[in-house]
Amino acid sequence: MRRLANVDGIRAVPFFEPGKPGLTDYSYIRRRMQEIRPFSVIHLAAIAAPSEAAQDPRGAFDVNLYGTLNLAESILRDSPETRLIFAGSSESYGRSFNRSNGPIQEDMPLEPNTLYGVTKASADMLLAQMAGRGLDVVRFRPFNHTGPGQSDAYVVSSFARQIARIESGLQPAVIDVGNLEAWRDFLDVRDVVEAYVGAATRKEALPSGIALNLASGEARRIGDILSDLCSMSTFEITIRHDAARMRASDTPLAAGNGCMASRYLGWRPTIKWSDTLRDILQFWRARVLPNLGGP
């Protein structure tokens, strides 16, 4: 994976200081913007788990929408030459997936059907309006992405952690699951980072305000992902359906068209899906096996 610090002599620095206020503190953000005056800001700060956003709607809006507004307003006031790279979400499309005849394109309406999606769509539209006021911004809409180190609050990492625990004897060789029939477009997070770095370092490549999907164009069934992970283990693992976990999905299938990112940045996914799964499983094996108490 390319490191931002090694690209064209650019030095990557964290925007927020340890123990200091965060995205919701406008005066702090303005002070930091005046101190750093960065070439680009890659804005990843968010309440990113949909379940967490649903449990705390006000907190989700404070961070995902109003925190984004704080950052964008500070750029306009204090460092107008700075480019803002916004990590939005494919969840902004919501119900539009159900009307699409194929992988969704950027001109489809934003009609989110989760609260998390609403916060991201709201920030996305806000930044489009602010681009008209002079904000240099690129609005990415990444589809599901995963990789080694991801929290087990997310489905692929959750499956992999359970397999590692089974292999270490920390749980029976059974994985309880809910709905496995949803189809999602998955990427390796390391490919997603490549797009962010390209947009941050090559300002001439992208017009301000542009919206870009980051997607493979291929949907994968959640149940097939679990089967693929299980096939990477020598253990005989039983998949058990738990009625309490069964929830119908409002979006049975979600896939995206990434042609715009390819056209403007020359970007496309390069990491094989099998390598992504193997790396995630190896991450959890390394975390679980050395200490049998489990992480």
Instruction: Please give the distance of CA 103 from its chain centroid, rounded to a whole number.
Output: 18
pLDDT in tens, 218-271: 999 999 999 999 999 999 999 998 776 666 667 999 999 999 999 999 999 999
Between helices 26-36 and 68-78, what is the axis angle to 10°? Answer: 40
Please report whether residue 82 resides in a domain.
yes
Can you tell me the distance from the alpha carbon of 117 to that of 123, in angstroms, rounded to the nearest whole number? 10
Please report whether residue 37 resides in a domain.
yes
CA atoms within 13 A on the CB side of 99: 10
Burial (0-12, 13-18, 19+ Cβ within 10 Å), 293 = exposed
Please report whether residue 294 resides in a domain.
no
Q: What is the pLDDT of residue 249?
A: 67
Q: What is the pLDDT of residue 289?
A: 73
Q: What is the pLDDT of residue 24?
A: 95
Q: What is the pLDDT of residue 20?
A: 81
Rg of the chain taking only CA atoms, in angstroms = 20
**The total number of structural domains that make up the chain:** 1
Can you tell me the distance from the alpha carbon of 32 to that of 21, in angstroms, rounded to the nearest whole number? 11
Please report whether residue 295 resides in a domain.
no
Domain of residue 136 covers 4-288
CATH number of the domain within which 269 lies: 3.40.50.720
- Give 183's contacts (C-beta < 8 A, 6+ positions apart): 219, 220, 221, 222, 252, 253, 254, 255
Q: What is the pLDDT of residue 33?
A: 96
- Positions in the chain whose pLDDT score sits under 50: 1-5, 293-295
